[in-house]
């Protein structure tokens, strides 16, 4: 039992040193003990002391300084034994009797130093001039004093200066190598500059994120869960002849949860997980990027099966330039070539799965996107109303909320918000509640957080003249009135004339999240956007610069109607939109067509402006009431507008209808088939709606100035 207890004790433990000191000494001299009880810098200290002692023992200092006249007296008294000089300094060595008498006269002399030092007793400097030299020579000759000439021996000082210089150079070299090599000990990390910088997550690491923490991206999560399941249960798939996908590319807008999905894979997968950024391959030295790619895959193959995650792969995966002299980067292309070879080259790469993320899939090289390298391209889209609700449920778990929270309404109030935006909303709401010393977060705090993120910070201190404030009130009242009286305009939430961010006022809407948009719907949105300028023209007979954002929006919408969606009769069913993202220095239409496009865009905008003025002219009294309510309260809500304008004469379109039915909740097989058909139709319509920012502006229903 005693032997077993001794074995179980950790090496070098305090208890072990106390009971078995002999074993403790062995531990100290071992690998662990030497690092704790012996400091290597003591060797440097000993070497420094030895060098200093050599310099002191070889130094010219020592003895007492005297004048030449005193030297004459010592010579005439017979106290001088011999003299050694270098032509400038004369070292006087006394006789034994004279030296003893000198020591007795010097009460402050240190016997220890006298014992260590056995050099000259006195010294003097010869005054300049030949007369003194002649007197010295005559004096020594007449008294039979041995005078010997010896040049100065400065080997100690010279050696110290060289050693000191070398030490400084070594320290500087170690510092530079340490900085270049990434801060490794001893500065030898310069030799690891071509090594991979990937972080390894092993099985059993305390990874916080799992698939349960990811919401709103069910399709993408299902794809990655299948990869993880394949790694954990390969027989389930291989018995049917299936092969694991070699790579998965996550594509989506910023903040949609691509990196979060990768973290969930790292938390769920029971295999080594390497994570790094695309910029980690970029270095100032030639060939480093390709070397790091080779080292990364070498490590991954040694630990296969394993997963490699490369975030922002567009940093190294951009399309290679066709012209070597224009827009090309040889080092980046060499890194990409090495990555392509490692992913699917001559040598097999079984057991290593590549997961990458980017929001710039349009700039990636085609060779990188082909099957065999990235077998799956997973599009992580912006969440819809139901997905936003699921995301809110995840982020509301750590927040203390009261019973006033309406998650369905929050999901409808945040169209166009990504998962990161929703997380920011929850955090801002908690900050607003803490600022007011609340014990729980309420729905009003979330409303303030949404307004803060969308419109910016309130600036009640901004100086606005009464005339400007009246203009702003009628401008916002025009937006509210026109949108309320148009069938396809977005439902109004509230109107405010409080400056927020760069805007002096804003009308807040709850836009419809349509999958397809008709010409009438876009036109009504344009009329509502021009209602502010139309109200200024009707009430004051003049217009202002306050409609800048409105004009920018309607211009983009009208231009998209004509050139992108083919919604103009004169231009016809033609779209000049290039979904491939090919950049061109020339327009895809002639100058005559460009003139027609400009004319048609202007006609559409003017038609919407005329209709907005007609609506406001017919309801001028109600427009004035809305503006006066704004001037009085600064913020009015939907109920206030409904009290003034009456109920909307149109049935409001339901927001956030779930189109895809859950198959496990449908009992009838025919209903399942209908649900699948609807899902396919929605997916096709979403694919048709993918466009560039110009096209997205035409579909944007959110009105905020």
Catalytic positions, please?
476
Residue 329 burial class via C-beta count within 10 angstroms: exposed 0-12, middle 13-18, buried 19 and up: middle
C-alpha closest to that of 613 among 526, 554, 538: 538
Omega of the bond leading into 675 within 30 degrees of 0 (cis): no
DSSP letters, 133-166, are HHHHHHHHHHTT-EEEE-----HHHHHHHHHHHH
Q: 281 to each of 194, 277, 286, 289, 359, how far by Cα in Å?
A: 9, 8, 11, 5, 19
How far apart CA 248 and CA 17 sit, in angstroms, is: 55
**How many CA atoms does the CB half-sphere of 35 hold within 13 Å?**
3
* Helices 519-529/531-540 angle, 10° precision: 40
How far apart CA 671 and CA 131 sit, in angstroms, is: 129
For tokens 């020579």, the residue is 137
CA distance between the termini of the chain: 81
Q: Measure the CA angle with vertex 201, ends 198 and 205; round to 5°.
A: 155
Sequence-distant (≥ 6) Cβ neighbours of residue 414 within 8 angstroms: 388, 421, 422, 425, 450
Helix (H), strand (E) counts: the chain: 30, 14
3 state DSSP class of 441:
strand
How far apart CA 450 and CA 454 sit, in angstroms, is: 6
Strands 635-637 and 199-201: unpaired
């Amino acid at each position: 039992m005693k032997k077993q207890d001794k074995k179980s004790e950790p090496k070098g433990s305090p208890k072990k040193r106390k009971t078995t000191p002999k074993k403790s000494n062995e531990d100290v001299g071992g690998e662990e003990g030497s690092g704790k009880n012996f400091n290597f810098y003591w060797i440097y200290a000993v070497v420094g002391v030895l060098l200093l002692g050599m310099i002191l023992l070889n130094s010219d200092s020592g003895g007492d300084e005297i004048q030449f006249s005193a030297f004459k007296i010592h010579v005439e008294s017979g106290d001088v034994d011999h003299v050694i000089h270098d032509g400038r300094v004369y070292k006087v060595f006394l006789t034994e009797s004279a030296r003893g008498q000198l020591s007795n006269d010097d009460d402050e002399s240190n016997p220890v130093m006298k014992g260590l030092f056995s050099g000259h007793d006195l010294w003097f400097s010869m005054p300049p001039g030949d007369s003194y030299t002649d007197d010295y020579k005559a004096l020594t000759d007449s008294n039979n004093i041995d005078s010997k000439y010896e040049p100065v021996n400065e080997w100690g000082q010279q050696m110290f200066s060289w050693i000191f210089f070398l030490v400084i150079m070594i320290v500087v070299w170690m510092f530079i190598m340490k900085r270049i090599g990434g801060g490794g000990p001893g500065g030898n990390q310069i030799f690891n500059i071509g090594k991979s910088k990937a972080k390894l997550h092993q099985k059993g690491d305390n990874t916080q994120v799992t698939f349960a923490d990811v919401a709103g991206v069910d399709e993408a999560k299902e794809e990655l869960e299948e990869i993880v399941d394949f790694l954990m249960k390969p027989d389930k798939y291989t018995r049917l002849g299936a092969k694991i996908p070699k790579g998965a590319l996550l594509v989506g807008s910023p903040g949609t949860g691509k990196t979060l999905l990768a973290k969930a894979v790292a938390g769920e997968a029971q295999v080594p997980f390497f994570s790094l950024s695309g910029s980690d391959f970029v270095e100032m030295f030639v060939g480093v990027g390709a070397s790091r790619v080779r080292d990364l895959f070498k490590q991954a193959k040694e630990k296969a099966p394993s997963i490699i995650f490369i975030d922002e792969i567009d940093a190294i995966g951009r399309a290679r330039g066709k012209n070597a002299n224009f827009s090309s980067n040889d080092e980046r292309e060499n890194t990409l070539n090495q990555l392509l070879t490692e992913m699917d080259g001559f040598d097999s790469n079984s057991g290593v799965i590549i997961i990458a993320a980017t929001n710039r899939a349009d700039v990636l090289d085609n060779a990188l996107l082909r099957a065999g390298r990235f077998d799956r391209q997973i599009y992580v889209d912006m969440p819809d109303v139901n997905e936003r609700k699921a995301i809110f449920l995840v982020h509301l778990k750590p927040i203390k909320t009261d019973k006033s929270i309406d998650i369905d309404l929050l999901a409808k109030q945040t169209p166009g918000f990504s998962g990161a935006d929703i997380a920011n909303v929850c955090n801002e709401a908690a900050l607003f509640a803490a600022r007011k010393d609340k014990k729980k977060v309420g729905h009003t705090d979330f409303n303030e957080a949404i307004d803060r993120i969308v419109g910016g910070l309130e600036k009640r201190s901004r100086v606005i003249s009464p005339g400007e404030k009246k203009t702003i009130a009628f401008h916002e009242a025009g937006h509210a009135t026109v949108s309320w009286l148009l069938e396809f305009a977005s439902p109004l939430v509230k109107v405010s004339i409080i400056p927020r961010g760069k805007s002096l006022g804003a009308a807040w809407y709850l836009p419809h999240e349509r999958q397809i948009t008709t010409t009438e719907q876009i036109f009504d949105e344009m009329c509502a956007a021009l209602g502010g300028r139309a109200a200024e023209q009707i009430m004051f007979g003049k217009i202002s610069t306050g409609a800048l954002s409105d004009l920018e929006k309607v211009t983009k919408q009208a231009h998209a109607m004509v050139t992108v969606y083919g919604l103009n009769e004169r231009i016809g069913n033609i779209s000049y939109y290039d979904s491939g993202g090919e950049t061109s220095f020339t327009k895809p239409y002639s100058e005559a067509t460009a003139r027609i496009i400009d004319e048609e865009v202007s006609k559409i905008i003017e038609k919407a402006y005329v209709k907005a003025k007609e609506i406001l002219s017919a309801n001028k009294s109600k427009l004035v009431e809305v503006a006066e309510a704004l001037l009085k309260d600064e913020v009015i809500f939907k109920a206030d507008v409904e009290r003034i304008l009456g109920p909307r004469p149109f049935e409001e379109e339901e927001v956030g209808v779930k189109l895809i039915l859950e198959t496990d909740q449908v009992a009838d097989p025919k209903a399942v088939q209908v649900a699948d058909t609807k899902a396919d139709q929605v997916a096709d319509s979403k694919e048709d709606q993918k466009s560039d920012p110009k096209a997205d502006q035409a579909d944007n229903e959110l009105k905020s100035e």
